[in-house]
Amino acid sequence: MTRLALIAHDEKKADLIDFVREHETRLGECSLVGTGTTGKRITEETSLTVERMASGPLGGDMMIGAEVAKEALDGVIFLRDPLRAQPHEPDITALLRICDVHDTPLATNLASAAYLIEGV
């Protein structure tokens, strides 16, 4: 089964929820992992189940990075806010690096996220 990680900066969480709703059928065929708050919101606002890691500020993004390093993820969707990211939010740099090292697709916007879920 395809295993995907879902992460979003605070200002992008609503966009990710809308994306998940739009693609709920396809994502329902996947095993989903998320950071704490993002995973909680997806679980509460859709019919999908998300395995929740710690919240981003508590290392959830690093936990997802560890899953990439173990080659336990088929892709990552990290909707980041390039203009207003807050200091407490996860930094994409380390996650981007580990995805590149392990040749794991990483989508950072809605267009690339749509391509990612269609491709896996």
Structural domain count of the chain:
1
Catalytic residue selected from 18, 61, 81, 103: 61
* 61 tagged catalytic: yes
Is 49 among the domain residues? yes
> CA-CA distance, 61 to 85, in Å (whole number)?
15
Residue 5's nearest CA partner among 72, 91, 94 is: 72
Say yes or no to pLDDT of 63 above 90. yes
39 is in an annotated binding site: no
CATH number, domain containing residue 10: 3.40.50.1380
**What percentage of the chain has pLDDT greater than the value 70?**
93
95 occurs within a structural domain: no
Structure tokens that stand for 113 in this block: 């996220």
Read off the pLDDT of residues 66-118 as tens digits, 9 standing for 90 and up. Answer: 999 999 999 999 998 877 756 666 668 889 999 999 999 999 999 999 999 99
What's the pTM value of the predicted model, to 2 decimals?
0.93
Burial of 21 (C-beta count, 10 Å sphere; 0-12/13-18/19+):
middle
Q: Is 88 annotated as a binding residue?
A: yes
Annotated binding-site residue? 23: no
